[in-house]
Amino acid sequence: MFEAVVALCLAAEPKICRARLVPGYRMASLSGCEAALNSSPPLMNFLVTNFPQRLIAAPPHCQQTGPEAAVIEAAPGLFVHMGAVADVSAANAGDVSNSGFIIGTRGVAVIDSGGSRQVGEELYRAIRSQTDLPILYVILTHMHPDHVLGASVFAEAGARVVGHEALPRALADRAQTYLANFELLTGAQALIGTQPVLPDEVITATSSLDLGGRVISLQAWPNAHTGTDLTVGDPTSGILFAGDLLFHRHAPALDGSVLGWRRVLTQMQSLLYTQVVPGHGGPLLPWPDAAAPLQDYLEVLITETRAAITRGDTLGEAVQTIAFGEADAWELFDLFNARNATVAYTELEWE
Ligand SMILES: [Zn+2]
Secondary structure (DSSP) of 178-220: HHHHHHHHH-TGGGTT------SEEESSEEEEE-SS-EEEEEE
CB within 8 Å of 76: residues ≥ 6 apart: 237
At residue 55, the pLDDT reads: 84
Whether residues 116 and 225 share a domain: the answer is: yes
Cα 141 to middle of ligand 1, angstroms = 8
Cα 255 to middle of ligand 1, angstroms = 8
Rounded to an integer, what distance in angstroms lies between the CA atom of residue 26 and that of residue 155?
Answer: 17
Give, in degrees to the nearest 5, the angle at Cα 138 between 136 and 142: 155
What is the extent of the structural domain holding 6? 2-64
Cα 265 to middle of ligand 1, angstroms = 15
What pTM was estimated for this model as a whole?
A: 0.96
Nearest one of 217, 113, 216 to 155, comparing CA atoms: 113
Cα 147 to middle of ligand 1, angstroms = 7
Query: Of 234, 260, 287, which residue sits at a domain end?
Result: 287
Whether residues 153 and 209 share a domain: the answer is: yes
Whether residues 201 and 222 share a domain: the answer is: yes
Domain assignment of residue 321, yes or no: yes
pLDDT profile of the chain (351 residues), mean per 10: 93 91 96 95 62 78 97 98 97 97 98 97 98 98 98 96 98 94 92 92 98 98 98 98 98 98 98 97 98 98 98 95 96 97 96 86
Whether residues 281 and 308 share a domain: the answer is: no
CB within 8 Å of 269: residues ≥ 6 apart: 287, 288, 291
CB within 8 Å of 294: residues ≥ 6 apart: 246, 247, 248, 252, 265
Domain assignment of residue 144, yes or no: yes
Rounded to an integer, what distance in angstroms lies between the CA atom of residue 231 and that of residue 309?
Answer: 33
At residue 48, the pLDDT reads: 44
Whether residues 34 and 82 share a domain: the answer is: no
Rounded to an integer, what distance in angstroms lies between the CA atom of residue 307 and that of residue 302?
Answer: 9
Whether residues 60 and 88 share a domain: the answer is: no
Cα 225 to middle of ligand 1, angstroms = 7
Cα 193 to middle of ligand 1, angstroms = 22
At residue 52, the pLDDT reads: 58
Pairing type for strands 215-220 and 230-234 reads antiparallel
Cα 170 to middle of ligand 1, angstroms = 13
